[in-house]
């Protein structure tokens, strides 16, 4: 097994500025188009969540937390997770955010209205 120094030396050897710059430049167009596609899909979802939050008078200081729940739900669906697996993962996210102080009813509404997933 290699030592930590050997691993670090191998990492440093593979990351000189000139090499990293070429690697990033080669992938830049794909990175930009991937980002654009993700944002195009995510922004309407965040807008839907914000409309729900505005309608029920959630304090604006809590918006980022509900939006993060929505982003995590979106990440699951964008990875192709569906059916029972999606419901199970969504329930876990719901439970996590309830433990962090968010209202169950609001999370259930977001999951149902925006993602068509039932959590309790």
Residue 57 pLDDT level (bands cut at 50, 70, 90): confident
Backbone angles phi, psi at 95, to 5 degrees: -60, -40
Task: Tell me the per-residue pLDDT of 72-82, one tens digit each, with 9 for 90 and over.
Answer: 999 999 999 99
Confidence grade of residue 15 (pLDDT, cut at 50, 70, 90): confident
**pTM recorded for the entire structure:** 0.80
98 domain-assigned: yes
* Beta-carbon count within 10 A of 73 CB: 25
37 in a domain, yes or no? yes
Measured distance between the N- and C-terminal CA atoms of the chain, rounded to whole angstroms: 48
Taking residue 10's Cβ as centre, other Cβ atoms within 10 Å add up to 11
Report whether 56 contacts 66 (CB < 8 A): no
Is the CB of residue 106 less than 8 Å from the CB of residue 98? Answer: no
Domain count, the chain: 1
Residue 51 lies in domain: 4-115
Residue 120 included in any domain: no
């Amino acid at each position: 097994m290699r030592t930590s120094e050997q691993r670090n030396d191998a990492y440093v050897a593979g990351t000189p500025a000139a090499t990293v710059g070429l690697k990033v430049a080669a992938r830049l167009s794909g990175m930009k188009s991937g980002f654009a596609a993700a944002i195009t899909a995510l922004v309407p979802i965040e807008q839907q969540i914000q409309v729900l939050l505005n309608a029920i008078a959630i304090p604006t200081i809590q918006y980022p937390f509900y939006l993060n729940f929505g982003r995590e739900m979106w990440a699951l669906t964008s990875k192709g997770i569906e059916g029972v697996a999606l419901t199970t993962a969504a329930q876990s996210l719901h439970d996590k955010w309830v433990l962090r102080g968010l209202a169950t009813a609001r999370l259930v509404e977001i999951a149902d209205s925006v993602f068509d997933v039932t959590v309790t």
